[in-house]
Structure 1
Amino acid sequence: MIVIPSASGGRIWQCVDMGELQRILDRSCTSGHVPGAGALVARDGEIEIAFAGEQTVGGPLMSEDTIVRIASITKPIVAAATMVLIERGLVGLDDPIDRWLDELAEPVVLRTLDGPVDDVVPAERQVTVRDLLTFSGGLGLPQRFDLPIAQLLFERISEGPPQPQQHPAPDEWLQRVATVPLLHQPGQGWTYNTGAELLGVLLGRAAGGTLFDVLTDTVLGPVGMADTAFFCTDVERIASLYQHTDDGLELIDPPDGQWAAEPPFLSGGGGLLSTVRDWYAFGAMLLAGGEHDGHQVLTEDSVRQMTSAHVDGGPKHLFLDGQGWGFGGGVDLRTTHPWNVPGRYGWVGGTGTAGYLIPSTGTVVVWMCQVQLGGPDDTRSMADVLTYAAR
């Protein structure tokens, strides 16, 4: 048995013997599939945590102190911060976003999804905060990347794998966004990611600070997520980011790379660094109905709205794959895979991360490695952990 301190520095977590979870991680690392990984599965407060391999090939071992780029599991954290501002009355769920993002006051919509990007019609209404949370506002990645509009999104507004030091600052980025048509009428479709980026800028403007200021005030501070931020100068703690190639693992970003200095754009879609323990604290707060160490971070109603499906992508959707979408994360609606549990909420990150809570079983699961997801084989180790947590 081992014990580790809670994210708040208060009570001590009693962890069960490291058995199957540790074996899964050891197998993943010794096979060469990932150089290092960390995972946590908590069932009704009983926590199993495991680490294996190295932060960097030939470097320090993975541990509780290892910091990773969490990519898209940033999204639920930003959604939670949005709900806090809504509870405070600073933002309204059905407020038009041009109240804060005036660059987007005159949206236009593609006449046809596969048509020329300049063949547009007026939007029937303004995009709202709710639309950004549910990804139904019309700006975002479609399921087909060969479409002209998809190419425009990649080229003009930096959609794709996060590169924080190369991203334009918020004001310049919004000017570029304003030149891109919506892919569908607001509220009448679903596209990926850009809604979260817009939400991040909106939160900063609404609160009169940066997105990190908002996250710290609303979520990171109250939940004790001290190791979660948009950059880290303590580079010895940061794991290296890799991708699989035909020749083996290729280094994409070293510890002193793009997350070692403050970026010009704080990405609400995928910019945070964090640790296994920090994301667990966040997931446990949601599982507890918004409460953390006796403090109500979110109301139960806000948690219910976040973790309920507002969109059903159907069983064949490229991104949702049998899931629905809540606020900032997926919600399982079908048991398409062994790891699906109806009502499970969370998401995966393209840098090789995942974070979910399963209300029906009182479970939180976190998986963190740093091998970029580029194909089905890249999710193998993650799938083993998520399936183990779903039992």
Structure 2
Amino acid sequence: MNNQLLRSAVGLLLVAATGMAIGQGLPTARPEEVGMSSVRLAALKTGLQAEVDNGKIPGAIVMIVRNGKLAYSETIGFQDKPAGKALRQDAIFRIYSMTKPLASVGAMMLVEDGKIQLTDPISKFLPEFAKMGVSVAQTDASGVVSYSIIPATRQITVQDLLRHTSGIAYGEITRNPVIRKAYIEAGVYEDKGTDYDHRKVTPAQEVTGVAKAPLSTQPGSTWEYSMSVDILGRVVESASGKTLATYLDERLFKPLKMVDTGFQVPAKEIGRIAEPLAIDPATGAPNKVLDVTIAPANASGGAGAVSTASDYMRFATMLLRGGELDGQRILSPTTISLMTSDHLGSKVVASPGPGELLMGVPGYTFGLGFMVRQGPGMAGVPGSEGEYMWAGAAGTFFWVDPKQNLAVVAMMQAPGPSRPGYRRMIKQMVYAAIEK
């Protein structure tokens, strides 16, 4: 056995020896005890270490739970490379859009409570959205594009927010200048600012501003990745009578012992924040990320949370177990099944689809808060029908595969266009390590 494999094998044995601390209470096992190969998992660490050594990423943490046990936990590279600070296992990451599954689960808890129905128009909770217009582009004979506003054919529902069919857009993504201008005026998008930072306006200002903006498509017609879950967070606040941060802390984070998950890093924990490289190696552009040390004006349900690999693995394990962990029932298994079903069908247009957006592959639909695999083929990466996942703009990624009894969390702070490639790489190498 060469030195690299020996170091990896020792690290894997340490998971079994010290896993109660590493996994925050999750039972541990050696990879072979859950049908995985230690040697092949060592290759995953080697591959990520090479990316660190080549200056492509600062560092990464990967955790794997299979058959209910934490079988792999590796920490690679730097938490702050310019400072020469090694990445800690308890590092705090900006999880960006991996906030969306947290907020979506929070909303579904209120569905189970009978306070929300998926078919409810969101105007029931946010009256500003009662009458919406849709911005439609027209091209004249000379090729000049103009825009007009037509009435929405129906109201936006809670289900639309959860599955991104509301017609609400992202200022960072939309090509419609009318919508982008409206989002700038609303304070939820800043041209040349930090992407996906919607935390500078109060909840009331966000609702009023987004409701004044036209929609990009008719509600229910098109899958378009968007600020929908930020608005879902405002629905949760209306239905629960609490701020999103307080509600999720009480109903989700505390019950699951997600002790470092929230919407701001406390002053005493700032030294644990994982930082990206100053310059993105793929583009040469500066990496701009959220300042998570300041109190946000609103808890952004779409992109504002921070977490650790261990915290998020507890969340993923709860999902894998059908909504329960350590005796804490968060959701019913039937609700998890509903959330991880196809909610787009054949009538909703999705171009690009969720898989193309997240990993550059087809084969996925969208449920309620998660991208869902439709079959074993098509996708160009290994996986199982019914697996579900999402990721974050700064490089974080997770998935749950019920058929393989598998949950994986990967944390890095590497914004930029290389993210889909790392997601494919990690996914391929984890499945290559499954032996039975």
Tell me by how many angstroms 1:62 deviates: 1.1
Tell me by how many angstroms 1:193 deviates: 2.2
**CA displacement 1:148-175 (0-9 Å, x = unmatched):** 345336534525723365x212111222
**CA displacement 1:328-365 (0-9 Å, x = unmatched):** 12112253222454322011211111011011111111
8 Å Cα contact 2:287/2:415 also seen in 1? no
**CA displacement 1:221-265 (0-9 Å, x = unmatched):** 222111111111211010113451578684534xxx710121112
Tell me by how many angstroms 1:272 deviates: 0.7
Tell me by how many angstroms 1:97 deviates: 0.7
The partner residue of 1:319 within 357, 368, 382 is 357
8 Å Cα contact 2:19/2:26 also seen in 1? no
In structure 2, the partner of 1:227 is: 260
8 Å Cα contact 2:222/2:350 also seen in 1? no
Q: 1:113/1:173 Cα in 2 relative to 1: closer, same or farther (>3 Å)?
A: farther
Give the Cα–Cα distance (whole angstroms) in 2 for the partners of residues 120 and 248 of structure 1: 39
Q: In the alignment, does 2:57 pair up with 1:34? A: yes
Tell me by how many angstroms 1:128 deviates: 1.1
8 Å Cα contact 2:120/2:158 also seen in 1? yes
8 Å Cα contact 1:356/1:366 also seen in 2? yes
The partner residue of 1:56 within 65, 77, 80 is 80
Matched letter for residue 271 of structure 2: E
The secondary structure found in structure 2 opposite 1:178 is helix
In structure 2, the partner of 1:206 is: 239
The partner residue of 2:370 within 329, 353, 360 is 329
Q: 1:218/1:247 Cα in 2 relative to 1: closer, same or farther (>3 Å)?
A: closer
Give the Cα–Cα distance (whole angstroms) in 1 for the partners of residues 286 and 171 of structure 2: 28
The partner residue of 1:191 within 224, 228, 247 is 224
Give the Cα–Cα distance (whole angstroms) in 2 for the partners of residues 153 and 361 of structure 1: 45
Which 10-residue stretch deviates more, 20-29 or 198-207? 20-29
Tell me by how many angstroms 1:147 deviates: 3.0
Identity of aligned residues (%): 28
8 Å Cα contact 1:25/1:51 also seen in 2? no
In structure 2, the partner of 1:131 is: 160
The secondary structure found in structure 2 opposite 1:124 is coil
Give the Cα–Cα distance (whole angstroms) in 1 for the partners of residues 214 and 282 of structure 2: 38
Structure 1's unaligned 5+ residue stretches are: none
The secondary structure found in structure 1 opposite 2:319 is helix
Q: 1:308/1:42 Cα in 2 relative to 1: closer, same or farther (>3 Å)?
A: same
In structure 1, the partner of 2:4 is: none
Matched letter for residue 240 of structure 2: A
**CA displacement 1:17-39 (0-9 Å, x = unmatched):** 56233223322211211011111
Matched letter for residue 106 of structure 2: A
The secondary structure found in structure 2 opposite 1:37 is strand
Q: In the alignment, does 2:421 pair up with 1:385? A: no
8 Å Cα contact 1:109/1:185 also seen in 2? yes
Q: 1:181/1:316 Cα in 2 relative to 1: closer, same or farther (>3 Å)?
A: closer
Structure 2's unaligned 5+ residue stretches are: 1-12, 32-37, 140-144
Larger helix percent: 2
Aligned Cα root-mean-square deviation (Å): 2.7
Give the Cα–Cα distance (whole angstroms) in 2 for the partners of residues 87 and 6 of structure 1: 33
The partner residue of 1:76 within 101, 104, 112 is 101
The partner residue of 2:215 within 182, 185, 188 is 182
Give the Cα–Cα distance (whole angstroms) in 1 for the partners of residues 369 and 185 of structure 2: 23
Which 10-residue stretch deviates more, 43-52 or 306-315? 306-315
**CA displacement 1:268-287 (0-9 Å, x = unmatched):** 11111001111111111111
8 Å Cα contact 2:121/2:155 also seen in 1? yes
Larger strand percent: 1
Q: 1:146/1:140 Cα in 2 relative to 1: closer, same or farther (>3 Å)?
A: closer
8 Å Cα contact 1:38/1:367 also seen in 2? yes
Q: In the alignment, does 2:366 pair up with 1:352? A: no
In structure 2, the partner of 1:266 is: 299
Tell me by how many angstroms 1:306 deviates: 1.1
